[in-house]
Structure formats: C-alpha cells, structure tokens
Structure 1
Amino acid sequence: MGLTDREKYQDKIKRLAGLVRSSGKVYALTGAGCSTESGLPDFRSPGTGLWEKVDPLKYSTSEVLYNDPESFYKFGFPRFKDLTAAQPNAGHFAMAELEQLGFIKGLITQNIDGLHFKAGSKRIWEVHGHLRTSSCTGCGARRSFQLLIDKLDSGEVPPRCSCRSVLRPDIVLFGDSMSSSYFEAERALQAGCDLLLAAGTSLTVYPVAGLPRFAKQLAIINLQPTPYDREAAILINQKFSAAMVDLVRELKR
C-alpha cells in the first residue's frame, strides 16, 4: 500500500529538516504567500490575488508619485496603509525561531508588510522596503511612516515635508531602482549559500527571482507552482504557517 498524502508530506518535512541540519549556510527567501494567513492578499493567486483587483501600473508607480502625487495618495496608497495593521502568523514566528536556533543565517523578503520584523527576525533584508519610515522627495529627510499617515488623515494630500516637497513611503515602487538592501542580500548569497529556503513566493519577479542561482541547493514551500519546482531538492506544496511550524518542530527533536 502506498503512502497517504499526509505521510508523504511528513516525509518531506523530515527530509527538509535533514537538509537544513546538514547545510552550513542556510538563507530564507519569502514572498507575499507568507502573509495571506495574516489576512493580506498575495499578488497572483487566481481569484484572490491583489493584481487581479488593482492595476499596479496605474497608480502605484514612482512616475505617478512624482508627476501626480495627489492621485498616488488617493488611489495607490490606501493598499499600502492597510498593510500596517496586519499581525504576524505562526509561520513568521517559526521563521524567526529558525534564526534564533541558528539554522538560518538571514532572511530575504520581498514583502513590505514588516511582519517578519514584528515576529522577531533580526537579520532581514527587506528588498522592496518597509512601512516603518518615509522620506522627503526633495531634501531627503527621513520621517516616520506614522507622520505620513497623520498628515493624510488631517487632509494634507499629498503629505509634504517642512521643505514643502512631497513625502513618500520607503518602499520600492514600480519604476524605482532596487534598494541597497537587495544588493546586500545578493552579496551575502554570493559569499556562500548551501541552501536557499524559498517560502510563499512565486519566484517570478526579477531580480529577486534570480537569487536561487547563487544557492547550491533550493527548497520550496509554496501552494502554487513556481518556475523552479523541477530544480528544487525538496518541493512542499503546503501553506506557509503549517509547513514552517512542522519544520521547526522536526528540527527541535
């Protein structure tokens, strides 16, 4: 009699734990699929993906921000503001515990929601930025993200710095150059990565989708197919939280 789906899944978790234990330098790469269990939509899931509902190229671009900041803040910005109320799920806490236990050297995330930060992960490369700070497009002064929110709530659209230039969230918009955090993460992987654990990411958005090429081995935890599935040493089609909690439990045995 063959193995049940549950038994096959448990076997994959055990093999992944063994791979993590035997690999010297392990890094994690995460995407929007990690945050769906925190109530945030991902980008590409059929029927629920954010980009099926909102055209990101219409309002959430650097071109709109600089040329029509009022439209950016009225129509593009609200979806970013909504992210700030989300809380980490069990998978985020499990990922932080992996770092605390010494199993991963660092975490690269494409997410701007800050949930890995809230969950306690320490060495994080937030390659698309975060929603903890904002910056002036004129003088470059760094402000809190909350100040930006407060200005919008008071009716100041677009929100402006004391120098009267427009404030912007410290995230990478369509049309922006990649952040310095991305290049730091790339250098870390180039310096040595025995295993890259990609979780909750479609691995289709470049340049981040090119990072697996720096890893000796790749493990994937994702509900949807990715272009790297055939190359993965281990592929687990499971929800982020369940797989991460089970992985930590297995590693602690």
Structure 2
Amino acid sequence: MSVSLPKAPPIPAELEVLFTRMRFPYARKAAPDVLATARAQRWDPAEVVRVLLAEEVVGRDNATRRSRRKSAGMPNGKTFGSWKSELSSIPQATQNALRTLEWVSRRENCVISGPSGTGKSHFMEALCHQAIDADLRVSWFTLETLAVTIGRAHVDGSIARTIAKICRSDIIVIDDIGLLPVGHETAEAFYRLVDAAYERRSLAVTSNIHPSGFDTIMPKTMATATVDRLMHHAHMVETSGESHRLAEALAGKGVVPLT
C-alpha cells in the first residue's frame, strides 16, 4: 500500500502575489515543494532562488515548444521514436548527418524524393520535431495549403507580409509534391516562397518525383527558376523500395483485428 506524502504548506500570500505580478507561473507552482525542501535540508538562499528560476525557465521552454508544435501544422505527430532507421533506404550516415541539423544553421535545403510510402514524410516530420526540441521554428505546408495561404494574401495585397511571416521559421516544409498537377497560382506560390527563402531560411521538400521532373507538373519556366534556387544549396536524398504502408497492409498489420 502506497503512503501519500504530506502536502507542502502554501507559500506566503505576499510571495504568491509577487510571482503572479512577475508572471512566473511555473516558479509559483513549484514554490511550495521547493521551499519545504529548502527548510528541511537547510539550503543556501541562493540555491532556493536558483531552483525556482530553473523551474520557470524549464516551464517556459516546454510551453514554447508545445506552442511551436501546434503552430507548425505538422500532420501526424511522427517522431524518431517510431522511426525504424534500419528499414529505411536512406543511408544511415545521411540520416545521422541530417539529424545534427547543421544544414539548418547553414541555411541549406533538404530535398527527399522517392516512391510513395518509403518514409519521406515520416523522416521529415521527425526531423522537424527534433528541430523544435532544439528551439527552432517550423512551418509545414503541402503545395495546396501553401497556395491557399498565399492566395488569401492576394485579396488584401499582403503577399509580401505573408511570405515574410512564413520565412520567420527556421525550417519551411513543402510536403508531398508530385501527387497532383500544379496550377499556375500554386506554382507561383511555390516559386515566391522558394525565392524569398533562398539563402535566408532552410526549405525541406518531399516529393514523389525528382526535382528535375518538376516541369512535368508545373509550367516549365517557373519550374526551372524554382528548382534552380531550391537545389543550389540542397542536400538531395532519394528513397527507394516498396511502400511500407502497403507492406504492412499485405501482412495484416494495417488494422487491429475485429473481435
């Protein structure tokens, strides 16, 4: 039978007011236990201050990461916790190099192309979660959602502001290119973003076709200009093999059996 520990006494009302006034919610929450421990173990006053400030910093950092994860718009919540690196056709050395995120600090791009179901989006989303844990900002789009976002800006003439806002992110992802043909407005939105981010921010692209074939799904002139800027400072990764999703489905692992 577990024995519940006595609840720490509340902090003085004046201290509660000060924590609230200074907007230190995480230090305020931790204060009763910290002060009780400090009294019992006769901590130096400086240690009490250090621990309370550390609680506030950790709490704020975690809240910031939660907010960034939510605002990034990533689709599935897939992280490296569910990634099976040994099953990927991406060389292990390449996986390790990209996971350092050094390419982001150098404002370089990452382009992953290959057949559907070969782990492109999973690996990219896992990279983005790791980037957020490293206090970086991420924005995630498909070509369609990017076109809608920039299309809205056409209405009030705020295209430049909208693209500048997107480019505040350290990594800007365009996912699943090549599934459908691209209209002129969508191609223009893609070009505008690639041009604005060029040598300023890192673009991460996943595609079912190699960038050299983008002129088969979008106007040739615009495709040429887009790919020229996208690939100038890009790490090119190609996946291969059969679809992992199809393999799981054929093996009966796609669903939980009904009972």
Q: Per the shorter chain, which TM-score range?
A: under 0.3
Higher strand fraction (1 or 2)? 1
Q: What TM-score, normalized to structure 1? A: 0.24
- Greater fraction of residues in helix: 2
TM-score (norm 2): 0.24
